[in-house]
Amino acid sequence: MRTLGRTGIRVSPSCLGTMMFGQAGNPDPHDCAGIVHLALDAGINIVDTADVYGPRGVSEEIVGRALRGRRDERAAATGQGEGGGAR
């Protein structure tokens, strides 16, 4: 584990990327949740997602549901797609 900047949050050196959750890769939300659970059980405690992963934020929705009940021990990193706000 390592500390994330000056936050005091301890994160794993590896991160699960979820760009392929949804129609662009794996459209089965239960299968994707299983991938998240396998990563968590393996000690990965940071998950990368974004509103542009899958149409209309489907990756974020899948990750949110998969983390239900385990959020206190995990971190999620999310981004914003192009043109989505002030720069």
Q: Known catalytic residues? A: 53
Closest C-alpha among 19, 85, 86 to residue 52: 19
Which amino acid would we find at residue 46?
I
DSSP states of 61-73 as a string?
Answer: HHHHHHHTTTGGG
Q: What is d(CA 80, CA 86) in angstroms, rounded to the nearest whole number?
A: 11
